[in-house]
Amino acid sequence: MGDSLCHSHRATRAVLRRRSLFTVLPFALLLPTVRVSGQSIGGPLDCRKSCVCASNIVSCSKTNLSNVPIALPKYTAVLDLSFNSITRLRAEWTPVKLSRLHTLVLSNNGLTFLSSEAFVSVTKLQYLDLSSNRLRLLDEFIFEPLEHLEVLLLYSNCISQIDRTAFSGLISLHKLYLSHNLISRFPLELVKERSRLETLRLLDVSSNRIKSLPLQELQALPAWIKNGLYFHNNSLPCSCELYDMVARWNLKELSSATDFRSSHTCVLPGQQKEKIAILDLSKVNLNCSEVKVMEEEEAYLEQFLVLDCDAKQKDTTKSWALPGNIPLPKANTTAVMRPDGSLQIGPLRAEDTGVYTCYATSDSLKETLYVTVVVFNSTMSGGLENLKTAYTTLVACLVSIVMILIYLYLTPCRCACCPDHGLEKTNPMDSLHSSTVSISQANKETGQEGVEGRGFPYRHVGFSEIKDQLEQNGRLNPIGSILLQSMD
């Protein structure tokens, strides 16, 4: 579509030229062209017939100029050359340095060429309009001399290639319009940390041929950049990640999403290349999960936490309120507002849990942001120690279970080093007799005597002890059986 627009634009201008040939012929005789070093330059400025000169403003719009007029006043501040036929802007388009020129309008000229030194004589430019031309590429460092430039209009061209250094040096640029071109790569270097233009507040790359976006990098940008980042009406493939980003921007009421809500579309996979609204992906097709924006921070006791006031505008006055909507005291030692507007809390206590409120205000904006803080009732190191203690306890339990199993099920020792291993027991009652003898001998050594002459000398033994002797692992105790026989 972009190529057809460029071709149709060229054809339209050719028709207009043929139609206006007889009309502008008399004026062409009044403005002769001058050739210097084999290159054509414009004729002298005529403020009475072809241009309008009012104080420091020079307007030569719609005068069918093919070159910039020469001998422009040095005090010129505004120069309007729109709707002409200036196809090439050479380095020597102005022989004198225009140190006061702050506005240059070259829109609707059919420009196809910009010299790398085209702006060395107008370094104080603040507003440059190159829209609605036929520029195809932007060379490296093409705008580097324009360190005071604030607004650059390049929309409705045929730009398909942009060198990564094309906008280097534009340290004062606020707004850059690149919509309605043939751009296929998103210029991330303009907004990415470290390489971004610090003053850039609006970047419009809508209505191009961009087929992929660096979604993670864009999500991480501050809200004041995302608020002016326009990328609608591109050939983006549908995905839940894209839906998640656009939905979040809508919930935060960022202008780049809400102003062109219906124009945020994506291409469904398949041969038909059907377009669908990105915000409808949660209902049909990919069935993406619904997005809910909630700012929440989690931390432990004794830690330090920094809460960011992510406002939609960069230059805002910020103030914080503690949980319970208590204004931040100036003498507070645990909560301090930093120079960048963020709030530092710490060392954290359990009572620091709650909702913190940031108020961002400017001449045109009043924004309120809420951040929920959850402080766990333990320290990070304490939590690790508890984990180590639990692990040690578990290991100890396992070792105890193994030792018990060994004690219960390990077979008796039969090796040569065991006691009584070499003794031969020919009579199965040897052990029985030896046990009986041992008991009798032990009784004699302790000096125990029978009670009332004929009574059984072991009558003082409790029956519970005899019962214990009868049962050992479910087997009959031979000593117990002998004792019972004696008692009988």
**CATH number for the domain that contains residue 11:** 3.80.10.10
Question: What parts of the chain have a pLDDT lower than 50?
Answer: 14-39, 423-426, 428-476, 478-488
Identify whether residues 311 and 194 lie together within a single domain.
no
Identify whether residues 20 and 95 lie together within a single domain.
yes
Give the separation between CA 270 and CA 285, rounded to whole angstroms. Answer: 12
Identify whether residues 173 and 300 lie together within a single domain.
no
Query: For residue 406, is it within any domain?
Result: no
Identify whether residues 15 and 77 lie together within a single domain.
yes
Give the separation between CA 175 and CA 202, rounded to whole angstroms. Answer: 5
Identify whether residues 106 and 42 lie together within a single domain.
yes
Give the separation between CA 476 and CA 239, rounded to whole angstroms. Answer: 79
Whether the Cβ atoms of residue 51 and residue 62 lie closer than 8 Å to each other: no
Residue 403: its pLDDT value, please? 83
Residue 436: its pLDDT value, please? 42
Query: For residue 160, is it within any domain?
Result: yes
Residue 423 token pair:
């003794």
Here the contacts of 4-10 (C-beta below 8 Å, separation 24 or greater) are: 5/158, 5/180, 6/134, 6/158, 6/182, 9/110, 9/134, 10/110, 10/134
Of 217, 153, 160, 167, which Cα lies nearest the Cα of 184?
Answer: 160
Residue type at 44? Answer: P
In terms of C-beta density within 10 A (0-12 exposed, 13-18 middle, 19 or more buried), how is residue 267 classed? middle
Q: What is the CATH number of the domain that holds 302?
A: 2.60.40.10
Instruction: Give the C-alpha distances (Å, rounded to integers) separating 77 from 58, 129, 173, 338, 397.
Output: 8, 14, 19, 42, 87
Number of structural domains found in the chain: 3
Residue 482: its pLDDT value, please? 43
Whether the Cβ atoms of residue 190 and residue 178 lie closer than 8 Å to each other: no
Residue 205 token pair:
């790359």
Query: For residue 424, is it within any domain?
Result: no
Query: For residue 310, is it within any domain?
Result: yes
Write out the residue range of the structural domain in which residue 369 sits.
296-381
Identify whether residues 356 and 475 lie together within a single domain.
no
Identify whether residues 336 and 443 lie together within a single domain.
no
Identify whether residues 173 and 100 lie together within a single domain.
yes
Residue 437: its pLDDT value, please? 43
Query: For residue 168, is it within any domain?
Result: yes
The 3-state DSSP class for residue 407 equals helix
Give the separation between CA 213 and CA 3, rounded to whole angstroms. Answer: 22
Query: For residue 277, is it within any domain?
Result: no
Residue whose structure tokens are 């107008």: 122
Last residue of a domain, one of 381, 397, 413: 381
Identify whether residues 451 and 309 lie together within a single domain.
no
Give the separation between CA 329 and CA 347, rounded to whole angstroms. Answer: 17
Identify whether residues 183 and 96 lie together within a single domain.
yes
Residue 406 token pair:
């060994």
Query: For residue 320, is it within any domain?
Result: yes
Give the separation between CA 379 and CA 74, rounded to whole angstroms. Answer: 70
Q: Please name every residue paired with 203 in a beta bridge, in sequence order, or none if there are none.
A: 176, 229
Of 136, 184, 140, which Cα lies nearest the Cα of 166?
Answer: 140
Last residue of a domain, one of 169, 191, 210: 210
Query: For residue 362, is it within any domain?
Result: yes
Q: Is omega for the bond preceding 347 within 30 degrees of 0, making it cis?
A: yes
Whether the Cβ atoms of residue 242 and residue 210 lie closer than 8 Å to each other: no
The answer for 232, left when phi > 0, alpha when psi is -120 to 50, beta otherwise, is beta
Whether the Cβ atoms of residue 457 and residue 450 lie closer than 8 Å to each other: yes
Residue whose structure tokens are 């209902």: 283
Identify whether residues 361 and 442 lie together within a single domain.
no
Identify whether residues 360 and 442 lie together within a single domain.
no
